Amino acid sequence: MSSVQLHHSDQPVSIKLVNTGTEISLVDYLAKKCPSLIGPNAFFRPTLYLPNGHLQTFWAAYYNKTETNNKVEYERQHVATEDGGTFTLDWTPSFNEMPVDNTPTLVVLHGLTGGSHESYIRSLLAVVTKAPFNYRAVVFNARGCANSELKTPRLFNGARTDDLRTALIAVQEKLGASTPLVGIGFSLGSNILVKYLGEEGDKTPLIAGVSVGNPFDFLNSSMHLERTWFRKTIYSGTMAGNLKRAFNRHATMLSKHPLVDAEKVQNAQTIREFDDLVTRPMGDYDTVNDYYRDASSSVKIKHVRVPLLCFNAMDDPISPAESIPYDEIKINPNVVLATTQHGGHLGWFEGNYSPTRWIVKPLTEYIVAMFEAHDEREASRQSQLTPQAVDDAVNAAQALE
């Protein structure tokens, strides 16, 4: 059993509850609303045959390939960027099913080479977009991801937050500026989200954020992957393979970049080698380490000005515990870090017969709490939704997987 450990400022920010007008510290509010984060039930019990980070991470990859439950359906929107590029937004429910209104909306950022199809995204959206929550969600698919066309020789980049800004503008244009928005990112997407939140401060339209499996410090995480044969070959090698496949899907366009040699890219054996051959020149960096330093959200997290929950597993082999910016988190009253001893990278599987992701429970509790705190209509609508009712809804949804 792995208890949830919280790390935060000694003086957490106070949030004003819109339905009562009273103020309460962020941590005290989470203690009331999120029993999977704080309290006697705040623990994760891994699947018996997935007791460590490697097995949890391997199962996450297997789970994504074998899951066939398509209970999350999307409506796609194409968004043009100022440089002539494009990315896509996948909305759920469709606008035929839920016409445009100001329903609280979750904005989702996927991991490396991922998209709205990923099981770690669908497992959450299958809960929060259904009764009793009935939120709207939109997945921001990065350039060239999720079977989208690439119109310029620029692939996704962990340091670039301009497309996220454009995505949020498109979301607000679609739903209206008064619609409450909470952002959540996974792995690479969580780093982009936290970096963006640190850059924007209190100017972001997001009322809160969630970071899951964030590598935080790209340079240190890269060194961690390079340090042993196993991590370099299995994890870094696998991610390099995924990146090369993403590159090859758009090779005709990406080969137009004057500094990218498509033939050399095929020889990349690690993520660092790929970044040196592709991401570095596309981002106009002198060295790959310059890119890693610029991309790291660890240097921006102290500037975040909205409530932010960061969730990491200490045995994550890809986003290592040594990269977590504990000091920066503890000086920012807006940030709460939750860690578990086990869980791997985007795993957190529990149950033995048919494992499901435990992480969906604390994430759902936090999302509900943030919408309740900041939106009067939502506070009234969800007034009967106790923390136990939230967990019951999650359990019911996962029973269908």
Helix pair 360-374, 26-33: axis angle to 10 deg:
120
State the amino acid at position 232 in one-letter form. K
Using an 8 Å Cβ cutoff, are 161 and 196 in contact?
yes
Q: Nearest-CA neighbor of 324 among 211, 237, 185?
A: 211
Residue 345 catalytic?
yes
Q: Which residues contact 144 (CB under 8 A, 6 or more apart)?
A: 150, 155, 156, 246, 249, 250
- Note if 380 is an active site residue: no
Q: How far is residue 295's CA from residue 280's CA, in Å, rounded to a whole number? A: 11
**How far apart are the C-alpha atoms of 17 and 14, rounded to whole Å?**
10
Q: Is 127 helix (H, G, I), strand (E, B) or coil?
A: helix
Spatial separation of the C-alpha atoms in residues 289 and 5, rounded to whole Å? 32
Is 261 an active-site residue?
no
Distance CA 140, CA 352 (A): 33
CA distance linking residue 70 with residue 259, whole number of Å: 41
CA distance 129 to 107: 12
The catalytically annotated residue of 217, 316, 375, 391 is 316
Q: Which of 116, 148, 187, 319 is catalytic?
A: 187
Largest Cα–Cα separation, the chain: 62
| CA atoms of 142 and 79, how far apart (whole Å) | 11
Catalytic residue among 8, 110, 224, 345: 345
Please give the sequence-ordered ranges of beta strands (E in DSSP) within 193-253, or none if there are none: 208-212
Give the whole-angstrom CA distance, residue 36 versus residue 336.
14
Query: Which residues sit opposite 138 in a β-bridge?
Result: 91, 107
Distance CA 212, CA 109 (A): 10
Q: Which residues are catalytic?
A: 187, 316, 345
